[in-house]
Amino acid sequence: MNSNLISFDKCLGSACKDLAVLESSLHWNYHPSSGTADVAFNKANAKDSSNWISWAINPTSKGMIGSQAFVAVHESDGTIKAYTSPITSYATVLQEGTLTFKVYSVSASYTSGHFIIFATFQLPSNTTLVNHAWQEGLVSKDGTLMPHSFSSPNLHSFGTLDFVSGKVSETSGKVDSRTTFRNVHAILNTISWGIMMPTGVIMARYLKVFDGLGPTWFHLHRACQSLAFLIGIAGFGTGLYMGNHHGVHHAPHRCVGITLMCLAFAQVCVAVCLRPKKDHKCRIFWNVFHYIVGYATIALAIWNVLKGFDILDANKIWKKIYVGIIISFAIVSVIMEVITWIWMCNKKMIKSEKQGDTSQQQP
C-alpha cells in the first residue's frame, strides 16, 4: 500500500486500493443490506489552489461519456466546493447537476497535499461491479474548470471496480478514437505545416540563385508546398472533427489553425491563378504579397505546432525533437544565406568584368 495513504474518518475499516495513474487512491465501505457505498477518493500531491479533482462511476459504459461524477474544486476564496456532475459530452465543464442514482452526501477536504472527495451513494441497479474514472485539472481565473491534460495518465484514468471483492482493474491500454484522432491530427499538422512548408520556402529562396538548376527549384518548391497543403487540409479536418464530435476546443490553437488555412488557400489561389509574368508591371506587388503571406504562414505554423505539443502535454522529447528540427532549419538558412550572398557577389563581379572586357574591345 502506498505510504502516502492516510486513514479517513469516514472510511474506517474500508477497503483501499492505489489507482494506476495520477497518484490517486480509493477507500470504500460497501453495505450489502442497503446496496450503498461510502467512498473516499484521495488525490495525493495535489495543489492547494486553482485546481479540481473528480471521481466518477459510469453505469452505461467505460470512459468519460455517461459518467456520474463527484467533483471537488478549490474556490478563489480558499474554500472547497464539492458537488455532483453528470457528464454527457466531451465538452463538459463539469456543471453541477443531479446524478442518475441517489446520492446521500458529498463533501471534500484538503490536508497536507491530499485532496479528498467523500461520498455516500446508492449503487446503480444494486450492482457491485462498476466502471469508474478519475481526473484532475486546473481552474481558470474566472472560476471555470479547464479541460484536463491530454497526457497518457489522464487518458488512461479509468477501469473497473468491484465493491465486494475489492478488485480494481487497470485500463487495457487500448487507444480510444479520440486519442487516435488526436495523434493523427498532431502527426499530419507537424509534418505539413511544421516541416514541409518551411522546407519548401528554404528550397525556393536558396536554390533559385544557382543558374545550373534552371526551373528545378520552382518545381521542387511547388511540389513540396502543394503536398504540404493537401496534408494540412487533412490535419485541419481531423481538428474540426475532434471539435465537433469529441468536444476538444482550444481557442488560440483553433483560431490560428483557421487563419493558417485561410492564408494557405489565398496563397494557392494567387500563385496559381493570378501570377503575372516576370516583366509585368504588377509583378512586384505579387512578389510582396507572396513573400509576406508565405513567411507569415511559416511563423504561425511553427507557433501553432509548438502550441499543439503543449496542449497534448505529450512526452517532452517530441517537442524537443521538433525544436531541434526548427533550429536545424535556422542553421541551414544562415549557412545558405552566406553561400548565396557570396555566389551572387561573384556572379556580379564576373558579369561586370565581362562587360568591361566587351567595352574595351569595341573601337
On whether 250 is known to bind a ligand per the annotation, the reply is: no
φ and ψ at residue 108, rounded to 5 degrees: -150, 160
On whether 219 is known to bind a ligand per the annotation, the reply is: no
Per the CB < 8 A criterion, the answer to whether 79 and 149 are in contact is: no
CB atoms near residue 330 (< 10 Å): 11
Measured CA to CA, the distance from residue 133 to residue 155 in angstroms comes to 10
Which residues are CB-contacts of 197 (< 8 A; sequence separation ≥ 6)?
A: 225, 228, 232, 297, 298, 301
Max Cα–Cα distance, the chain, nearest Å: 120
Q: Starting from the edge strand earliest in sequence, which strands make up the sheet with 103-111, in order? A: 15-18, 24-31, 36-43, 114-122, 103-111
Three-state SS at 103: strand
Residue with cell 494506476: 20
Report the candidate in 8, 55, 15, 42 with the shortest Cα–Cα distance to residue 31: 15
What is the per-residue DSSP string for 249-305?
--HHHHHHHHHHHHHHHHHHHHHHHS---TTSTTHHHHHHHHHHHHHHHHHHHHHHH
On whether 114 is known to bind a ligand per the annotation, the reply is: no
Identify residue 45 by its one-letter amino acid code: N
CB atoms near residue 251 (< 10 Å): 7
On whether 253 is known to bind a ligand per the annotation, the reply is: yes
Measured CA to CA, the distance from residue 357 to residue 191 in angstroms comes to 51
Q: Which residues are annotated as a binding site?
A: 185, 221, 253, 290
Q: Which residues are annotated as a binding site for heme b?
A: 185, 221, 253, 290
